[in-house]
Amino acid sequence: MLGGEDTLPITLRLSEPVIKELELLMQQLQLDDMGLLVDRLLRDTLFDEEFDGDED
């Protein structure tokens, strides 16, 4: 059962290349998330500007 009160913490011993690879993956995921956020903000902004232009 995951997350139960009787579970023990797991300690992983990772080699340096594995740690570096995980760090790169984490950075890439964060960049992907930021890219999606920026893309969505830009689309929302452009969408709002289109409506603002129609009202004038």
Give the pLDDT confidence of 1-14 residue by residue, as tens digits. Answer: 455 567 777 777 88
Per-residue pLDDT tens digits for 44-55: 777 665 555 555
The confidence score (pLDDT) of residue 8 equals 75
Q: Tell me how far apart the alpha carbons of residues 45 and 39 are, in angstroms, rounded to a whole number.
A: 10
Whether the model clears a pTM of 0.75, i.e. scores above it, the answer is no
Percent of the chain with pLDDT over 70: 73
Q: Using alpha carbons only, what angle is made at residue 54 by residues 43 and 40, rounded to the nearest 5 degrees? A: 5
Q: Would you state the pLDDT for residue 1? A: 47
Q: What letters, b where the CB count within 10 A reaches 16 and e where it falls short, cover 10-48?
A: eeeeeeeeeeeeeeeeeeeeeeeeeeeeeeeeeeeeeee
